[in-house]
């Protein structure tokens, strides 16, 4: 058990280091100094309070999408649809935020809860199809991503605004934006959502590790047939897992809609929050604590990378390659883990 | 028991968060010291140059190689830097945005690196510019293709009607059937400006020309664009000018379809915003007669120079027209856009500059203008 835990911590740490090393070689190969490059990355993410605030802002939705993917993984499902669930959550939150008038104590929680429900519904569809018809969730969720994207664009354009590119701002009573944080961090867009995100991580841990529901979900993930034989309702557990996963992703959308932006605009493509969430979940070994830490890493990479072209002179294209390399190595930790475990099994 | 563990874990998580925050904070001081000394060096170097005025721009998600606004703006900024003997990163630079959420951090970054003038390229940055400009009153900002109010913001817009007038003149010189068409995106003040200019241009050259005007109702409906174009070409219209974004791709598609079936038929499309020569290519023929281009680069260069000379037009809405090469026609398709047409267009351009022709901007002005012909 102890060795196993050490192993679980070591694999992601090593893969991050390999990723950084690969990025450094890349920079060396193209004649840039990797030390100034990474210094710029660090300064861009934690260099001063503004950048730190922006990093936290980026980390907040990553925690949610990471939790969403991790939760589904735990019961053996691959939720590629976090992307679409984020979009419907965002849309729902902004819809409530712009059209309803209520005091903050009702308005804000309502907007957040409705976003979670919207995401949950978007997760329920593939869950239901998987459980009752055996349709693979990957295919359904990928298709639902596009449905969500274009549906949201149409609604933003025609229902929530008068043929404009974005909705009006959400009412102050539904906003997560915090003047206090903004003043403290030189007007970054850091908002209260980070506390909700950390709290959600605790909830995820609690459900998975401390409740019988979580036990059943895990058990279905380990072995569907054994769980069925043991008298568990496998179908319901698959649906439930996708619902909870979708709710987490929907909350990520609420963070963007109520916190970062305060509106929803017509999107020309995916914002990658959901796809990055897959990498976050994998790096975090599908545990709540791991996801939070991995989300910090990804948020810092994303925000810090913007600083590399201006401060270290590394071209934007190369920065994209370096960040992709790091993420690649980080994501392949799953492969490393899988290969190692295979070997172990064979030894046994 | 359960509860206690729960609270314990929450406290633990919270303290990890705080610890991370503290790490970030303390790291920041070191990092800051490092970066400040670094950037001071940079500054002293660049101030050793001709001037310590510097300008930078933030792209929208298109990036500096989008063959459109961003690329043009960056080329303008580079030309400005060259003009004053600067190098990228010392005196001028750009920050690329990969998603909508990057606009604000990128603007902030450039402000903090002490650029005197920061451009936001494209209307998508309007909100971010407004926020950041309100927070940093000492830095000047400019937004391209949108109007944002603020004492330290210059709004760069283009005289679309003047460019469209030239497009109308070119169409009138090209048409064999004396029928030309206009396809608009949404029926709004902005697109009416294109329409009015185009109709005025065509009718001024030849009052007998019929101009059919249709609006697709959207900028992202190539299907509708194709349908409208199909009807127009069927009704003997041989030149269509579109001001409809991606809807115009349908117009190009229809023109190319017809050309494919009947290579002898002479039909043309006039592009908008940037040189749409490539969209019109089919085999070794090209249906793009010309394009009404907005020369964003020229405007960026000019505003940078104004800022450098201490005459930054803060709070003003600048309109770049034919006079300052802000708008004009592309002459890439030399086969179709003959010297004859180019010469005629040049004459009309001169008349606009001299004030002989006052190009109408609205439907009312257009009626008045047509009556006075």
pLDDT band for A248, please (50, 70, 90 cuts).
very high
What's the rounded Cα separation, in Å, for the pair A23 and A328?
Answer: 11
Q: Which pTM does this prediction carry? A: 0.78
On whether both A176 and A320 belong to a single domain, the answer is no
* For testing contact with chain A, the best of B2, B10, B23, B31 (most A CBs within 10 A): B31
List pLDDT tens digits, range A13-66.
877 888 888 889 988 999 999 999 999 999 999 988 899 999 999 999 999 999
pLDDT at B10: 54
pLDDT band for B24, please (50, 70, 90 cuts).
very low
On whether both A109 and A196 belong to a single domain, the answer is yes
For residue B214, give the H/E element and its range.
Answer: strand B210-215
Q: Check if A275 contacts B (Cβ < 8 Å).
A: no
pLDDT at B5: 57
Pick the CATH number of B160-293+338-372 from 3.40.50.2300, 3.30.342.10, 3.40.50.620, 3.30.70.2340: 3.40.50.2300
Q: Do B20 and A296 touch (CB under 8 A)?
A: yes
On whether both A131 and A20 belong to a single domain, the answer is no
Q: Which two tokens stand for residue A347?
A: 């030894």
Average pLDDT of span A103-123: 95
On whether both A155 and A260 belong to a single domain, the answer is yes
Q: Is residue A138 part of a domain?
A: yes
What's the rounded Cα separation, in Å, for the pair B164 and B198?
Answer: 5
* Contacting residues for B232 by C-beta, under 8 A, at least 6 apart: B181, B183, B212, B214, B240
What's the rounded Cα separation, in Å, for the pair B175 and B118?
Answer: 44
On whether both A137 and A206 belong to a single domain, the answer is yes
CA distances from A298 to A89, A314, A336 (A): 21, 20, 20
Q: Is the pLDDT of residue B11 over 70?
A: no
Q: Where in the sequence of chain B do the CATH 3.40.50.2300 domains occur?
A: 50-158+295-326, 160-293+338-372
Q: What are phi and psi of A126, to 5 degrees?
A: -65, -35
Q: Is the pLDDT of residue A3 over 80?
A: no
ipTM of the complex as predicted: 0.79
Chain B 6-35, CB below 8 Å of chain A: which residues? Answer: 6, 9-10, 13-14, 16-17, 20-21, 23-25, 27-28, 31-32, 34-35
Cα atoms in the 13 Å half-sphere on the side-chain side of A308: 28
List pLDDT tens digits, range B99-153.
888 999 999 999 988 999 999 998 889 989 998 999 899 999 999 988 999 999 9
Q: Which structural domain range is residue A131 located in?
A: 49-307
Q: How many helices (H) and strands (E) does chain A have?
A: 16, 0
What's the rounded Cα separation, in Å, for the pair B352 and B165?
Answer: 9
What's the rounded Cα separation, in Å, for the pair B221 and B79?
Answer: 36
Q: Is residue A223 part of a domain?
A: yes
Pick the CATH number of B50-158+295-326 from 3.90.110.10, 3.10.20.30, 3.40.50.2300, 1.10.3080.10: 3.40.50.2300
List pLDDT tens digits, range B162-218.
999 999 999 999 999 999 999 998 888 888 999 999 999 999 999 999 999 999 888
Rounded to the nearest 5 percent, the helix, strand and coil shares of chain B are 50, 20, 30
What's the rounded Cα separation, in Å, for the pair A70 and A64?
Answer: 10
What's the rounded Cα separation, in Å, for the pair B303 and B368?
Answer: 34
**CATH, residue A114:** 1.10.3470
On whether both A58 and A23 belong to a single domain, the answer is no
Q: Check if B135 contacts A (Cβ < 8 Å).
A: yes
> Domain count of chain A?
2
Q: What are phi and psi of B312, to 5 degrees?
A: -65, 130
Q: Check if A43 contacts B (Cβ < 8 Å).
A: yes
pLDDT at A335: 72
pLDDT at B21: 46
On whether both A334 and A290 belong to a single domain, the answer is no
Q: Is residue A43 part of a domain?
A: no
pLDDT at B33: 36
What's the rounded Cα separation, in Å, for the pair B305 and B116?
Answer: 12
Chain B 36-95, CB below 8 Å of chain A: which residues? Answer: 38-39, 61, 63, 89, 93, 95
Q: Do A47 and B2 touch (CB under 8 A)?
A: no
Owner of token pair 């712009």: A98
pLDDT at A325: 82
Q: Is residue A339 part of a domain?
A: yes
Q: Among A307, A271, A260, which Cα is nearest to A44's? A: A307
Q: Is the pLDDT of residue B94 over 60?
A: yes
Closest CA–CA distance from residue A45 to any residue of chain B (Å)? 9
Q: Is the pLDDT of residue B337 over 70?
A: yes
pLDDT band for B256, please (50, 70, 90 cuts).
very high
**Residues of chain A neighbouring B17 (CB-CB closer than 8 A):** 194, 198
pLDDT at B51: 64
List pLDDT tens digits, range B274-316.
888 988 998 888 999 999 999 999 999 999 999 999 999 989 9
Strands across the sheet containing B140-144: B87-88, B91-95, B55-58, B117-121, B140-144, B153-158, B317-320
* For testing contact with chain B, the best of A309, A324, A327 (most B CBs within 10 A): A309
């Amino acid at each position: 058990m102890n060795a196993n835990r050490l192993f679980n911590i070591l694999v992601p740490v090593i893969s991050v280091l390999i990723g950084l090393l690969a990025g450094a070689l890349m920079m060396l190969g193209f004649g840039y100094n990797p030390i100034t490059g990474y210094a710029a990355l660090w300064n861009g993410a934690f260099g001063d309070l503004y950048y730190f605030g922006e990093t936290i802002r980026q980390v907040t939705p990553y925690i949610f999408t990471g939790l969403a993917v991790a939760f589904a993984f735990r019961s053996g499902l691959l939720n590629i649809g976090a992307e679409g669930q984020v979009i419907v959550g965002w849309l729902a939150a902004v819809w409530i935020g712009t059209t309803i008038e209520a005091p903050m104590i009702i308005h804000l929680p309502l907007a957040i809860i409705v976003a979670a429900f919207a995401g949950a519904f978007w997760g329920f569809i593939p869950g239901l199809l998987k459980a009752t018809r055996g349709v693979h969730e990957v295919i359904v969720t990928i298709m639902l991503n596009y449905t969500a994207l274009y549906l949201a664009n149409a609604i933003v354009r025609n229902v929530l605004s008068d043929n404009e590119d974005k909705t009006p701002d959400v009412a102050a009573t539904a906003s997560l934006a915090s003047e206090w944080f903004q003043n403290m961090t030189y007007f970054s867009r850091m908002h209260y959502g980070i506390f909700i995100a950390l709290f959600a991580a605790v909830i995820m841990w609690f459900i998975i590790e401390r409740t019988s529901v979580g036990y059943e979900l895990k058990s279905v993930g380990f072995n569907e047939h054994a769980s069925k034989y043991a008298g568990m309702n496998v179908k319901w557990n698959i649906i439930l897992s996708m619902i909870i996963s979708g709710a987490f992703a929907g909350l990520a959308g609420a963070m963007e809609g109520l916190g970062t932006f305060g509106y929803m605009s017509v999107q020309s493509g995916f914002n990658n929050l959901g796809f990055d969430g897959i990498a976050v979940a994998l790096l975090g070994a599908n545990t709540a604590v791991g996801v939070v830490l991995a989300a910090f890493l990804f948020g810092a990479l994303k925000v810090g990378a913007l600083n590399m072209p201006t401060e270290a002179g590394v071209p934007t294209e190369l920065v994209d390659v370096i960040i992709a390399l790091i993420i690649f190595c980080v994501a392949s930790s799953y492969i490393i883990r899988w290969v190692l475990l295979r070997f172990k099994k064979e030894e046994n | 028991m359960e509860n206690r563990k729960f609270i314990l874990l929450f406290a633990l998580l919270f303290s990890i968060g705080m610890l991370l925050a503290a790490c970030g904070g303390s790291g920041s001081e070191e990092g800051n010291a490092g970066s400040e000394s670094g950037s001071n060096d940079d500054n002293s170097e660049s101030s050793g140059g001709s001037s310590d005025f510097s300008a930078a721009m933030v792209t929208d998600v298109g990036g500096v190689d989008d063959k459109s606004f961003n690329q043009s703006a960056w080329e303008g900024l580079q030309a400005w830097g060259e003009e004053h003997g600067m190098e990228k990163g010392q005196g001028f630079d750009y920050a690329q945005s990969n998603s909508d959420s990057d606009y604000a951090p990128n603007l902030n970054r450039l402000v903090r690196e002490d650029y005197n003038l920061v451009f936001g390229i494209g209307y998508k940055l309007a909100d971010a510019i407004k926020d950041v400009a309100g927070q940093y009153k000492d830095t000047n900002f400019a937004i391209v293709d949108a109007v944002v109010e603020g004492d330290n913001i210059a709004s760069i817009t283009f005289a679309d009607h003047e460019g469209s007038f030239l497009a109308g003149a070119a169409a009138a010189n090209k048409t064999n059937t004396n029928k030309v068409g206009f396809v608009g995106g949404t029926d709004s003040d902005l697109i009416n400006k294109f329409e009015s200019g185009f109709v005025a241009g065509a009718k001024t050259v030849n009052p007998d020309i019929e101009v059919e005007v249709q609006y697709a109702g959207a900028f992202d409906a190539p299907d509708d664009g194709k349908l409208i174009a199909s009807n127009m070409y069927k009704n003997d219209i041989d030149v269509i000018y579109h001001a409809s974004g991606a809807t115009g791709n349908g117009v190009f598609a229809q023109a190319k379809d017809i050309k494919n079936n009947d290579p002898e038929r002479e039909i043309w499309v006039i592009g908008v915003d940037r040189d749409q020569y490539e969209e019109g290519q089919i085999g070794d023929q090209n249906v793009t007669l010309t394009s009404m281009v907005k020369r964003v680069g020229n405007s960026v260069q000019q505003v940078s120079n104004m800022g450098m000379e201490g005459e930054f037009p803060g709070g003003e809405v600048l309109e770049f027209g034919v006079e300052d090469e802000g708008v004009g026609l592309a002459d890439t398709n030399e086969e179709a856009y003959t010297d004859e047409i180019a010469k005629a267009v040049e004459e009309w351009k001169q008349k606009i500059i001299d004030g002989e022709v006052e190009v109408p901007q609205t439907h009312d002005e257009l009626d008045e203008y047509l009556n006075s012909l």
